Structure 1
Amino acid sequence: MSVIKQDSILLEQLKAGCEQAFAEFYAKYRKYLMVVAVSLLNDEMEAQDLVQDFFIDFWQKQLFNRIDPAYHKGEGELMKNYIHRIVYNRCMDRISQRRSQQQKIDDMPAPDISCPPENRMEAMEWQRQLSYTLQAAIAKVPPLSARVFELSYIHRKSRHEIAAQMGVSPHTVKNQLVRAVRILRAQLKKG
């Protein structure tokens, strides 16, 4: 049976809500999508997260329903082309985010050590106030989320390092980090 025919049957099963079809889809395309993501991002961990998020979205948001074999006749491996495009676009978005973050860092003014003492005192006071405000906001974050935030942003550990240290899954670390950042943003906007 041709790849096109196999994908057509797999697509029909996915649209019928067959979990076994999703398991087959995952097994068939995971390695391929990892190769695509790693080749673009040059970071295996980030690629793994991106591909995992894609599969979650593909099933939960039923992205397979957007594939219309009648519309794409003659385009070869319809399923592979569709998922390749999604993962490629997500990788390009990540690369764009990286560039944007790096540009913000590059645009930050360098500290002027030759500034007058009164300005240095003012800067130190501002930094002390900022530290106090941040500590007060962190105190309002649940303990697990706060610990994950501290390990990630203060100790600069990766998700997988944090997961190993805390004995939880990297996905749990990601969820706790998102939770902590959301709460901190809300707290800091109030202050």
Structure 2
Amino acid sequence: MLNYETISDNELAELLRSGDRGAFTEIYNRYKWLLHSHAYKWMQDREEAKDIVHELFVALWTKRESLSFPDNLSAYLYTAVRNRIFNVISHQKVASQYLNSLQAFIDEEQGATDHLVREKQMTLLIEKEIAALPVKMREVFELSRKEQLSHKEIAIQLTLSEQTVRKHVQHALKILRAKLGLMAFLFLISH
């Protein structure tokens, strides 16, 4: 029976390639703590380091026949752990960027949604106050602001003088400004 503890790394690698479980166990026992320490230095998370080392040894066993080890098994294992660490860090960075962009999108959408809600509330308030205007004044005002007709076009359509149309619009604006306040009034004239 072989004493695996006395066998060199190169011989263990050859035995591993041929499917020798004892060689695999010896490689594991020889390097697991060193590789774990190396992974922990980078990750600062014991569970993450343990997972990295575990995944390395699983891959080492499942791909044993196709692996070509250099002259130095320990260098191969350290390089393999380092590559896995870089993959995890890269994945974490991508995940973090994704989460940050998702949060920014949510924040932006929340802001847009809040803005739309406020705009809708403001529009309803303005519509309520316009509906409270005297009938002829409201009709003139709506043709002016909603239909965007000129004073002359409104005068022709309603058989009024341009002066009367102008007065109705001015009075409507004065009433709405008084009832709605400056912010709502500015919103009204900008839309």
Please, what TM-score do these two structures have when normalized by structure 2?
A: 0.51
Matched, 1:85 2:93: no
1:108-129 deviation line (CA, Å, top 9, x unaligned): 3213163323999xxxxxxxxx
Matched, 1:36 2:30: no
Instruction: Tell which structure's C-alpha radius of gyration is larger.
Output: 2
Q: CA deviation at 1:28?
A: 0.3
Matched, 1:18 2:20: yes
Q: Spell out the pairing of 1:129-144 with structure 2 (5 A cutoff).
A: none
- CA 1:99–1:13 in structure 2 vs 1: closer, same or farther (change >3 Å)? same
The corresponding residue for 2:96 is 102
The count of corresponding residues between Structure 1 and Structure 2 is: 109
Larger relative contact order, structure 1 or 2 (CA cutoff 8 Å, min sep 6): 1
| Whole-angstrom CA distance in 1 between matches of 2:11 and 2:119 | 70
| Whole-angstrom CA distance in 2 between matches of 1:119 and 1:12 | 74
Q: Is the 8 A contact 1:58 1:64 kept in 2?
A: no
Which of the residues 32, 45, 48 maps onto 1:46?
48
The corresponding residue for 2:116 is 116
Q: CA deviation at 1:101?
A: 1.0
Q: Aligned AA for 2:69? A: I
The runs of 5 or more residues in structure 1 that have no matched partner are 70-77, 121-191
| Whole-angstrom CA distance in 1 between matches of 2:118 and 2:23 | 68
Q: Is the 8 A contact 1:57 1:63 kept in 2?
A: no
SS of alignment partner, residue 77 of structure 2 = helix
| Whole-angstrom CA distance in 1 between matches of 2:54 and 2:78 | 14
Q: CA deviation at 1:20?
A: 0.5
- CA 1:22–1:119 in structure 2 vs 1: closer, same or farther (change >3 Å)? farther
Q: Aligned AA for 2:46? A: E
The corresponding residue for 1:185 is none
Q: CA deviation at 1:44?
A: 0.9
| Whole-angstrom CA distance in 1 between matches of 2:119 and 2:19 | 64
| Whole-angstrom CA distance in 2 between matches of 1:119 and 1:93 | 47
- CA 1:93–1:42 in structure 2 vs 1: closer, same or farther (change >3 Å)? same
Q: CA deviation at 1:16?
A: 2.2
| Whole-angstrom CA distance in 2 between matches of 1:6 and 1:117 | 73
1:8-65 deviation line (CA, Å, top 9, x unaligned): 2211211221110111010000001101111111111111111111101100111773
Bigger fraction of residues in helix: 2
Please, what TM-score do these two structures have when normalized by structure 1?
A: 0.51
Q: Is the 8 A contact 1:11 1:64 kept in 2?
A: no
Q: Aligned AA for 2:89? A: I
- CA 1:103–1:60 in structure 2 vs 1: closer, same or farther (change >3 Å)? same
SS of alignment partner, residue 20 of structure 1 = helix
1:95-145 deviation line (CA, Å, top 9, x unaligned): 01111111112223213163323999xxxxxxxxxxxxxxxxxxxxxxxxx
Aligned-residue sequence identity (percent) comes to: 25
